[in-house]
Amino acid sequence: MTGKRRFHATFAEFAAVNELNYDFLKDEYSINMMAENPLDEDEYLAFYEPTRLGIPRVFGGTQGLRHHPAVMNKIARATFMPKSGNNDKVRGLYWNLISHVMHGQKVDIIAVIMDQLADLRLNLEMNIYFAPFIMSLIKAKTWFRGIYESMHSAFKPFKNDTGFLERPLTPFLDVEVDEEDSENEGDAAQNVDQQGMPSPPPVQP
């Protein structure tokens, strides 16, 4: 609503004005993360650097995360999942997001944004984290014809963290294996050359 005029918009219109591909995000391959339970804590280990590298780790926090999970957490905090609390922790569904992306699974970002916007209906004192997204919709629905282009500075996570940027990448599937269990069960470590992030899901026409 703007003033005394009331406007209605669909999720598809919200996606369109914010340059999101609605059909791509809502197809059968897309996961509604907001309907999931938080990732089990036992699965966190795979997203941290292995012990052999000697990098300090704080499980449940950002210290010691591998490169890709660390960058994904930063991107989510700065864009579509801004309500994350203090920046040294990784909480709740942020782990789900990291897990889905690292496994090459597509997440329904529109559902994520709308779920957080719904909280504003219950608490009008909350910060409007998605003001630019909402404003783009308002301008489209009110047929705004003025100049409203805005310039955004480039997002460069860890640009001042030389240690992080210079640290060699480690394969995602290079998880730690208990040596005693490996000897007893005959588990063999996977070929490092065959490890890495999986290919993303195919883009649907």
- Residue 202 is assigned to a structural domain of this protein: no
The pLDDT score that the predictor gives to residue 174 is 55
CB 29 within 8 A of CB 106: yes
What is the Cα–Cα distance from 10 to 205, expressed in whole angstroms?
22
CB 65 within 8 A of CB 83: no
CB 13 within 8 A of CB 23: no
- Residue 189 is assigned to a structural domain of this protein: no
Report how many domains make up the chain.
1
pLDDT tens digits along 95-152: 999 999 999 999 998 888 888 888 777 776 666 667 777 777 777 777 777 665 656 6
Count Cα neighbours of 195 within 13 Å in the Cβ-side half-sphere: 12
Structure tokens belonging to residue 142? 């009110």
Query: Which residues span the domain enclosing 33?
Result: 11-142+154-176
Indicate the pTM of the whole model: 0.72
- Which amino acid belongs to residue 93? L
Under-70 pLDDT residues of the chain: 1-3, 84, 124-129, 146-153, 174-205
- Residue 127 is assigned to a structural domain of this protein: yes
Structure tokens belonging to residue 2? 């703007």
- Residue 69 is assigned to a structural domain of this protein: yes
The pLDDT score that the predictor gives to residue 128 is 66
What is the Cα–Cα distance from 56 to 63, expressed in whole angstroms?
7
Residue 147 CB-density burial (10 A; 0-12 exposed, 13-18 middle, 19+ buried): exposed
What is the Cα–Cα distance from 171 to 185, expressed in whole angstroms?
23
- Residue 27 is assigned to a structural domain of this protein: yes
DSSP E strands: which ranges in 102-170? Answer: 106-107
DSSP 178: -
- Residue 1 is assigned to a structural domain of this protein: no
- Residue 195 is assigned to a structural domain of this protein: no
- Residue 103 is assigned to a structural domain of this protein: yes
